[in-house]
Structure 1
Amino acid sequence: MTQKPIPNLEIPQDLETKYVNFVRIAHTVSEFVFDFSLLLPGVTKFEVNSRLMMSPTAAKLFLQALTENLKRYEANFGKITLPGSHSLADDLFRSIDPPEGS
């Protein structure tokens, strides 16, 4: 199967880049909705930074592209390890214990 060329995307000069570490995904029969947010320790109200909507076909193609890119990333930089017996929230919001004797 031959790949189609990737379109040349123009990025506006004033496009704001936002860091996110959480996504809430919802769907209907005709679309997927991705709400991106930044979760911070001690904050109880989180604001959606960006909302993206895709058709189910586009979401599946996005998953395929993300999977391929993660494989390339790990080939170049090493395996990405995920939390084991605890949740990502545990890693993000764990309290840092002071050194003994402090």
Structure 2
Amino acid sequence: MENDNNNPQQNQINIELSEEMAEGVYCNLAIITHSHAEFVLDFVKLMPGAPKAKVKSRIILTPEHAKRLFKALQDNLRKFESVYGPIKETPEGGMPPFSMGGPTAQA
């Protein structure tokens, strides 16, 4: 009898992406807050000169999934820069920090 744990198709997930979701939403600011149980990522569209900015999407993650996302982003940034060169970072004065408001980091 064959071991089902070695079957690669058993580990595949069928992910559905609607047309509306596939269009995506432009955001240029992320506000990250956390508690002992979760990380909250608010993705915001901030327009120059506008007095208000709208949260376009909110993602809530467990600390474990937040760390997995961090590692995946790191890996993808390394791959991107190996093909296209280093990403230039603008000085902090131009935009608010990516982490603002909410609780301060806790161990």
Is the structural similarity TM-score above 0.5?
yes
- Unaligned 5+ runs, structure 1: 91-102
Name the structure, 1 or 2, with higher relative contact order (CA <8 Å, separation 6+): 2
**Which residue in 1 is equivalent to 2:26?**
19
Residue 87 of structure 1 deviates from its aligned partner by 2.6
Superposed displacement of residue 83, structure 1: 2.3
- Partner deviation per Cα, 1:11-63 (whole Å, 9 max, x = no partner): 11232410100000000100000011111111011110000000000000000
Q: Could you tell me which residue of structure 2 aligns to residue 45 of structure 1?
A: 52
Identify the residue that residue 29 of structure 1 maps to in structure 2.
36
Specify the code of the residue in structure 2 equivalent to 1:9.
I
Separation in 2, partners of 1:65, 1:77: 18
TM-score computed with the length of structure 2 as normaliser: 0.71
1:6/1:42 CA distance change after superposition, 3 Å: farther
Instruction: Give the direction of change, closer, same or farther, for the CA distance of 1:88–1:58 in structure 2 (3 Å limit).
Output: farther
For the pair 1:66 / 2:73, whether they are aligned, the reply is yes
The one-letter code of the counterpart of 2:79 is R
- Quick check: which one's helix share is greater? 2
Which stretch of structure 1 is more off in the superposition, 11-20 or 22-31? Answer: 11-20
CA distance in 2, matches of 1:59, 1:81: 25
Identify unmatched segments of 5+ residues in structure 2.
1-7, 97-107
**SS of the residue aligned with 1:34?**
strand
When the two chains are superposed, the root-mean-square deviation of aligned CA atoms in Å is 2.1
1:75 Cα shift? 0.6
Distance 1:21 1:50 in 2: 12
